[in-house]
Homo-oligomer: A and B are copies of this chain.
């Protein structure tokens, strides 16, 4: 069974899949008479066919612990989808390149630094969102869907997403 170890999320590593949404880098500009610095235009919002953009909030009802058996990934062929935590939270994402056929070995896992959000490019395969705690809220920015816009792909056998903070020696005894 394929095991994926989440790596720290960086814009360079994540570039094939989308954008990291984070207030870092040298691009800040002053705003409101110097009271704020602004990190502008951090991701590319995609919405095919002139559809609008929906802004919503999702709240976790389940705490998902790691290691985690991932048996399904999904993609949205008509638009991007962004998730930004509404309070600091380190969460794990699993992504695959935005193409028709992918293999489990194409998947990559990342863990955020607690302040990062992600924007999946249109068509990027991804693990449905999981949160480490109940009640965690994420802002979601995606396409207003008036037609089907979600493809699912079942993984058989499932892929195991490892706990990025457990040392290898701790993992040997886990039954995942």
Contact surface of A with B, Cβ cutoff 8 Å:
21-23, 28, 31-43, 45, 50, 52-62, 64, 82, 84-88, 115, 119, 128-131, 137, 139-141, 144
Contacts and interface: CB of A to CB of B under 8 A. Distances in A.
Contact of A36 (B38, B60, B87, B115): B60
**What is the total number of copies of this protein in its complex?**
2
A130 B39 CA distance: 16
B39 A57 contact: yes
A35 B64 contact: yes
A23 B137 contact: yes
A59 B130 contact: no
A175 B50 CA distance: 52
Nearest to A22: B57
